[in-house]
Structure 1
């Protein structure tokens, strides 16, 4: 299922925030305690998302005028990859990651690192990322994964 991948704009902030909160509450809540989900949600309020737009390259996936996914690139680090719960498994995340890889390659990067949730581990593994180590922040378990880039992502 093809969607338009484009840079995020200031007017997308509320939609991005809603999308991320929905994904956290639906998908990630299966793997993390409610306290962790609540804490992570605070990092994606509209105000926080607005701040991220000024610090990272943020992209959105859009279908029929609706934002259905988002991802960002912070130097060589992939961050905040989320797809609307009703669009997961339809290739939206893969299309976002392909765009991030194109951007990384054009910036001369040779590898990408992603701090992955337990929920997304399989997604990143299917894209060729391998786990380097685990990090724990209280009850939140994050997997640090990495992938070397080639000129044909």
Structure 2
């Protein structure tokens, strides 16, 4: 597996990873919540614009398959973090987070924060993130629970 930076040609594969990852969260969310979450990330141009403002790391298999994506904003916010459902719990997320932490260190970012999905909460907690509050956000007029997490950058 290789971790590399984003290029605009990656948008189709990243979009697919995000959509599959969101749809696989069905055990943790209601159908209307999943639909709202997925549709909020469905516009590829908007997604590209969002990624273009971030330090983006992409996990790619030796065969060229996109396995996951993570993006870090300049203020330490881990904005997007998605892994293919069949690659979760197989070190893809850990490798992505390690690269994001290296970027944070290089850019003198002292902490990382994220609004994690319920499905990602245990992953981030296991990586040293602490919940600072629980919050509900309206996404496409549907309420979603996002634990707000914070960790010191390495």
Separation of aligned partners in 2, 1:13 and 1:107: 25
Q: How does 1:48-127 map to 2 (within 5 A)?
A: 48-63=46-61, 64-75=63-74, 76-127=76-127
**Per-residue deviation, residues 31-64 of structure 1 (Å, max 9, x unmatched):** 1111121111123222222111222122110002
Deviations 1:98-141 (A, max 9, x none): 00000001111111101111111100001000100011124300
Distance in 1 of aligned mates of 2:46 and 2:121 = 25
**5+ unaligned residues in a row in structure 1: which ranges?**
none
CA distance in 2, matches of 1:36, 1:48: 20
Alignment: residue pair count: 147
TM-score in terms of structure 2 length: 0.91
- In the TM superposition, structure 1's runs of 4+ consecutive aligned residues that sit over 6 Å from their partners are none
Does the 8 Å CA contact 1:16/1:49 hold for their aligned counterparts? no
Q: RMSD of the alignment, in Å?
A: 1.1
Say which SS state the counterpart of residue 89 (structure 1) adopts.
Answer: coil
Give the aligned partner of residue 42 of structure 1. Answer: 39
Paired with 1:19 and 1:54, the residues of 2 have a C-alpha distance of: 17
TM-score under structure 1 length normalisation? 0.91
